[in-house]
């Protein structure tokens, strides 16, 4: 389980901010987190692993102009067989 709080800026409404998920520093465009502005402190769960072992997850918010916010704190989880 990966928890987060929604980002804000002075131009883009919360509902328009998108999020990118990075696994070991690589953007995973095929994993779309369930992030909704009406749930400002939310969680997501997903199954993804190329092989067993640790993987580091980082979330990055992007506004409508393409500006990227500072990345979230990274967490490391371990995928199992």
> Which pLDDT does position 78 carry in this prediction?
82
Which domains are seen in the chain, by residue range? 2-79 (2.60.40)
DSSP state of 14: G
Q: What string of pLDDT tens digits covers the 81 residues of the chain? A: 556 667 777 888 877 888 888 888 988 876 655 555 555 555 555 556 567 788 888 888 888 888 888 888 888 888 776
DSSP 18-80: EEEEEETTEE-TT------TTSSEEEE-----SSSEEEEEEEEEE-TT--BPPPPPPEEEEE-
CA 79 – CA 70 distance, rounded (Å)? 26
CA 23 – CA 14 distance, rounded (Å)? 24
pTM check: above 0.85: no
> Which pLDDT does position 46 carry in this prediction?
58
Between the two ends of the chain, the Cα-to-Cα distance in Å is 18
């Amino acid at each position: 389980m990966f928890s987060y709080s929604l980002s804000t800026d002075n131009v883009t409404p919360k509902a328009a901010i998108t999020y990118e998920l990075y696994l070991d520093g690589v953007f995973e465009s095929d994993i779309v987190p369930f992030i909704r502005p009406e749930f400002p402190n939310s969680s997501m769960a997903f199954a993804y692993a190329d092989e067993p072992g640790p993987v580091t997850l980082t979330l990055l918010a992007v506004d409508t102009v393409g500006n990227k916010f500072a990345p979230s704190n990274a967490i490391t989880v371990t995928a199992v067989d």
